[in-house]
A and B are shown apart, each in its own frame.
Chain A
Amino acid sequence: MVANAVTKEEAFPHDKELEALEIELLVEAIYRHYGYDFREYAVASLKRRVASCLHAEGLATISGLQERVLHDPACFQRFLHALSVNVTAFFRDPSFFLVFRSRVAPILRTYPFLRIWHAGCSTGEEVYSMAILLHEEGLYERCRIYATDMNAEALRQAQEGIFPLRDMLEHSRNYSEAGGKGALADYYTAGYGSAIFPAWLKENTLFAPHNLAQDGSFNEFHVILCRNVMIYFKRSLQRRVHELLYASLTPFGILGIGSKESLHFTPHETDYEPLVVGSKLYRRIG
């Protein structure tokens, strides 16, 4: 198969290599001009998002996109948005929240005051989901919640707390499967095709910019949730972020990751134990 790799490159000498070079130059240029570091993002999804940017901008080449991004800050904002937005749901992966309710909430009740960090909160669905859960478990009043993302536009949407009403049916099903004690509709007002969440659900939440690829630790937390954020990073950057999360977690603090993410091959693998076998909620023990 190694010998075969040579013929493969011969068959496509330009396209692939040139594209790889253009992407490398694009992210290097963005890093040096705007300070956003995408240099250790996983290649496959980065390529997809760059391609969809090219399409949206009506450009033929990545080099062309580089020129526009560098000379037009508005284009850079669009690029940033295309690169960082994920489509998630309220109570995505309900079993995660079910375990949080049954196993994490009792632990949290032993603390008089709680700091929670949603690292990479995107448009905020998970922040509101967790706020609802904490409220139902009688914990919300003692929480200070930090919801961070590198994308200012996503943060603005998260802070607004207004979501498309058409998705609420699916979200309601998740909420029930996640052990919800009432109805999701109890928490929002429907109007003009939107579900509007009330101010009290975010009064203990601080929405703030933070870039996991570059920024450091800014507090010590009892709970850190970082789900489906590191899947866009190469292993090298994943390791760096795991160092940051570990350093930001109190002893016996709780770490939650995505359902298809793993702590294997991360620097602090042995410093965590799962709260329930197979769950993606871990307690820091080392």
Chain B
Amino acid sequence: MAFEIVVVGTSMGGLAALERLLAGLPPAFPLPLAVVQHRRAGSNGMLATLLRRCCALPVREPHDKEKIEAGRVYLAPADYHLLIEEGEFALSTEGPVRYSRPSIDVLFASAADTYGKDVIGVVLTGANDDGAQGAARIKAAGGLLIVQSPETAESAVMPRAALAAAAADKVLPLSEIAPCLVSLCPAVQKETL
């Protein structure tokens, strides 16, 4: 089983959850991560700056048509949808989906479209149901779905909605999600041990 990309979606409570998740990934983590964190249209690069401090991997907001590289964390820029093409990112200013731009559903669906079963989707804390349809798309394409256990989420609405819409492969407390991602990449597991 060789995965191509990890896609992560979160909303309310997402900053603390992302800090925890990303801190658990080793510098040699072999997959790219694409992250949607809901935030207001006018936000700047502060989120990337905050996440960089606790993450061994480079964190950045991608440009349109930027090449997707392994071992990097890509944050959806504020007020753009982040989509995945073969090997590169694309951005869009189509209208908000479920009141959100960036939208988790949009990222997840395009990842599933492009990489099929080689996608790992992760749904974290959040106060709305964005991500649920995207989670279902990932499962329909044969990908793997991890959902933060609702009782450990700062806001349980988003994980619950994902669990209702799709059969998650794993429901885990936040602290176990990074180790699980590492365990899904056998090569890196050996290297870091």
* Contact across chains for A92 and B79 when beta carbons are under 8 A apart: yes
Contact pick for B63, options A93, A170, A262, CB 8 Å:
A262
Q: Does A268 interact with chain B (Cβ within 8 Å)?
A: no
* Contact across chains for B106 and A86 when beta carbons are under 8 A apart: no
Q: Does B13 interact with chain A (Cβ within 8 Å)?
A: no
Known A177-B42, A260-B64: A45·B94 in contact at CB below 8 Å: yes
Known A173-B42, A174-B42, A260-B64: A228·B93 in contact at CB below 8 Å: yes
| Residue count of chain A within 8 Å CB distance of chain B | 36
| Residue count of chain B within 8 Å CB distance of chain A | 37
Report the nearest A residue to B62, measured CB to CB: A260
- Nearest CB of chain A from residue B5's CB, rounded to whole Å: 11
Known A8-B118, A44-B83: A261·B94 in contact at CB below 8 Å: no
* Contact across chains for A87 and B93 when beta carbons are under 8 A apart: yes
Known A44-B83, A177-B42: A260·B118 in contact at CB below 8 Å: no
Report the nearest B residue to A229, measured CB to CB: B93
- Nearest CB of chain B from residue A22's CB, rounded to whole Å: 14
Q: Which residues of A contact B61 (CB under 8 A)?
A: 260
Q: Does B91 interact with chain A (Cβ within 8 Å)?
A: yes
Q: Which residues of A contact B86 (CB under 8 A)?
A: 43
Q: Which residues of B contact A48 (CB under 8 A)?
A: 83, 92, 94, 106, 109-110
Q: Which segment of A151-159, A182-190, A230-238 sits at the interface?
A: A230-238
* Contact across chains for B85 and A42 when beta carbons are under 8 A apart: yes
Q: Which residues of B contact A262 (CB under 8 A)?
A: 63-64, 66
Interface residues of A in 231-286 (CB under 8 A from B): 231-232, 235, 238, 258-262, 264
Spell out B's residues near A (CB within 8 Å): 2, 4, 41-42, 61-66, 77, 79-81, 83-86, 90-96, 101, 106, 109-110, 113-118, 141-142
Q: Give me 16 A-to-B residue pairs in the complex whose CB atoms sit less than 8 angstroms apart, sorted by A's number.
A: A1-B2, A4-B2, A11-B117, A16-B116, A42-B85, A42-B90, A43-B85, A44-B113, A45-B81, A45-B83, A45-B94, A48-B83, A87-B93, A260-B77, A262-B63, A262-B64
